[in-house]
Amino acid sequence: MIDLRRLAFATLAAPLALSLGACGSEEAQTGEIAATQPIEEIAAPQGQAWTDMVTVTPEDGYLLGNPDAPIKVIEYASLTCPACAAFAGNGAEQLKEEYVSSGRVSFELRNQVHNGIDLVLAALVRCGEDETFHPLSAEVWANLNDLMNGAQANPQALQAAMELPEEQRFFAVAEAASLVDFFAARGLSVDQQRTCLANTQNVTAIADRSDTQSSELGIEGTPTFLVNGNKVDSNSWAGLEPVLQRTGAR
pLDDT in tens, 193-246: 999 999 999 999 999 999 999 999 999 999 999 999 999 999 999 999 999 999
Mean pLDDT of 131-136: 98
Taking the model in full, what pTM does it have?
0.89
pLDDT of the residue at 1: 44
In the structure, what pLDDT confidence band is assigned to residue 36 with cuts at 50, 70 and 90?
confident
In the structure, what pLDDT confidence band is assigned to residue 103 with cuts at 50, 70 and 90?
very high
- Render the chain in DSSP notation, one character per residue: ---HHHHTTTTTSS-----SS-BSSSPPPP------------PPSTT--GGG-EEE-TTS-EEES-TT-SEEEEEEE-TT-HHHHHHHHHTHHHIIIIIGGGTSEEEEEEE---SHHHHHHHHHTTSS-GGGHHHHHHHHHHTHHHHHHHHHS-HHHHHHHHTS-HHHHHHHHHHHTT-HHHHHTTT--HHHHHHHHH-HHHHHHHHHHHHHHHHHHT--SBSEEEETTEEPS-SSHHHHHHHHHHTT--
Question: Comparing 11-20, 173-182, 219-228, which segment has the lowest mean pLDDT?
Answer: 11-20
Mean pLDDT of 108-112: 98
Residues 38 and 153: beta-carbon distance below 8 Å: no
Q: Is a pLDDT exceeding 50 seen at residue 162?
A: yes
In the structure, what pLDDT confidence band is assigned to residue 3 with cuts at 50, 70 and 90?
low
In the structure, what pLDDT confidence band is assigned to residue 82 with cuts at 50, 70 and 90?
very high
In the structure, what pLDDT confidence band is assigned to residue 32 with cuts at 50, 70 and 90?
low
In the structure, what pLDDT confidence band is assigned to residue 250 with cuts at 50, 70 and 90?
confident
Question: Comparing 16-25, 133-142, 183-192, which segment has the lowest mean pLDDT?
Answer: 16-25
pLDDT of the residue at 12: 40
pLDDT of the residue at 24: 56
| % of the chain surpassing 90 pLDDT | 81
Q: Is a pLDDT exceeding 50 seen at residue 13?
A: no
pLDDT of the residue at 249: 94
The chain-wide mean pLDDT, for the chain, equals 89
Q: Is a pLDDT exceeding 50 seen at residue 88?
A: yes
pLDDT of the residue at 57: 98
Residues 144 and 117: beta-carbon distance below 8 Å: no
